[in-house]
Amino acid sequence: MTKEATLEPELSHPMEELLRMDRIPHIWCPTCGLGTVVTAFASAIQKLEIGLDDIAVVSGIGCTGRVAGYVKIDSFHTTHGRAIPFATGLHLANPKLKTVVISGDGDLISIGGNHFIHAARRNIDLTVICVNNFIYAMTGGQVAPTTPLTANASTMPYGNFEQPFSIPYLADSCGAVYVARWSALHVRRLVTAIAEAIAKPGFSVVEVISPCSTLYSRRNRLGTGLDLMRFYHDNCEIKHGADTRELEIKFQEKITVGKFIDRDRPTFVQSMNNWYGKVFGDEYEPYEGAVE
Amino acid sequence: MPQDLPAGPKSTTAKYWRKPLDADTVKVPHGELHIVVNRCKGCLFCVEYCPREVLEMSQDFNVKGYHYPEVSKDDACVNCGLCEMLCPEFAIFCVLEEEGGGGEA
Ligand SMILES: Cc1ncc(C[n+]2csc(CCOP(=O)(O)OP(=O)(O)O)c2C)c(N)n1
Ligand code: SF4
Ligand code: SF4
Ligand code: SF4
Ligand SMILES: [Mg+2]
């Protein structure tokens, strides 16, 4: 029985000022965690009191990539895998802008993996929020470089035999200055981590383990997104400062979450200014951006 | 206490009344819940993780055909905001009940 009236509360939802409400409801499936990640990101902006003109979001392609279309701040939905190079250009033209990449595990670590490792190596001042649902969701559940061993994917119908990347280990070894992992259920910690990552100068990575109910969960008979949330609740172990070599995610086994890396290293722009300052002395005018 | 709060397709704006419990010393915040019924996709995150078990799923369907949360326990919401943070559909939120806004029940 469906009732007809559609009444809105007198007050509007606090997220509405940060979302393009004309595009809501979003395309994400029931019990998908992506909407929760958007709330966490928007709450981090509110927490930091960043002006909405002082931050930009760049996404690649995928279910996660759709985030760029829903946030009411300057954003760009790039081609597949190219969120980081686009964001690098945006940041270098205007280093004062907070530039945040929000994209999927496939987009950032597979086709975009090369950009990820070099942006980390160069310590480009970006914040990367990588939503890891262990799969290429948008295209039908193909294996990703993050799919746990033995998990089923449409291109691994007998289970995955490829060793996956651990995103925090990859980010750490390539030189990221801030690395954290949380699940979509740890939403308050996630807000803090995203806020810390945005505030941190340099290449910061926040991995978010998030339920894909329609593909990952269904292919692996894990139930709905709520069942995955329950799994995170029972199996995530908080271990700040954990050795990133020990963060592999095994299929339906315990997941270590926490803040693993928080260190200081000159950013790309700082290194350039320091070096050219040394080489050219007073003749060199430190670069602060090309945009007024 | 009214168990049957304004149900159905309306956005359920539950009104909570502050009880004078340790009123001088301990302030227990009370929340006023707002549910945008037709935005909900019935994921149950809010119902499952509310620390006060304030919510339960409706018998009715919203226009999209999903069950949606309703307030099942009067006076119990502590305005912690977890339902609001977890909801992937931006369909539920909570505001702090104004001090003295309701008076006694
Ligand atoms: C150059 C190119 N290759 C392949 C695709 C097809 N494609 C679209 S999204 C996607 C994978 C997305 O996976 P992920 O980044 O994990 O996002 P999710 O949907 O899981 O959030 C692929 C392979 C494409 N759009 N462009
Ligand atoms: S396919 Fe998976 S990741 Fe994509 S919207 Fe649906 S549940 Fe979310
Ligand atoms: S604000 Fe907290 S206590 Fe109130 S309904 Fe939501 S989760 Fe429950
Ligand atoms: S969390 Fe949101 S979408 Fe899920 S049941 Fe509650 S109100 Fe509906
Ligand atoms: Mg993915």
Q: Which residue has the higher pLDDT, A160 or B98?
A: A160
Residue nearest to atom 22 of ligand 1 (CA): A139
pLDDT of res. B74? 83
For the CA of A33, the nearest atom of ligand 2: 8
Domain-located, residue B17: no
pLDDT bracket for residue A190 (50, 70, 90): very high
Indicate the residue of A2, A24, A31 with minimum beta-carbon distance to B63: A2
Q: What ipTM was predicted for this assembly? A: 0.94
Residue B45's domain comprises: 29-97
Report the predicted TM-score, pTM, of the whole model to 2 decimal places.
0.92
Residue B20, min C-alpha distance to chain A (Å): 27
By the 8 A CB rule, do A40 and B85 touch?
yes
pLDDT of res. A8? 59
pLDDT of res. A219? 97
Domain-located, residue A16: no
Per-residue pLDDT tens over the stretch B77-100:
999 999 999 999 999 999 998 765
CATH number at residue B80: 3.30.70.20
Strand partners, A205: A128, A179
Domain-located, residue A140: yes
Residue A58's domain comprises: 32-279
Contact residues on chain B for A36, CB-CB shorter than 8 A: 45, 85-88
pLDDT of res. B104? 43
pLDDT of res. B16? 43
**Over 60: is that where the pLDDT of A62 sits?**
yes
Domain-located, residue A1: no
Who's near A21: CB < 8 A, 6+ residues apart? none
What does the CA dihedral B21, B24, B28, B32 come to, rounded to 10 degrees? Answer: 90
Decide whether any atom of ligand 2 lies within 6 Å of the A137 Cβ: yes
Domain-located, residue A288: no
Contact residues on chain A for B87, CB-CB shorter than 8 A: 35-36, 39
> Range with the lowest mean pLDDT among A3-7, A260-264, B67-71?
A3-7
pLDDT of res. B96? 93
Domain-located, residue B79: yes
Domain-located, residue A10: no
Per-residue pLDDT tens over the stretch A16-26:
999 999 999 99
Query: A213 to each of A134, A137, A161, A281, B81, how far by Cα in Å?
Result: 11, 10, 22, 57, 24
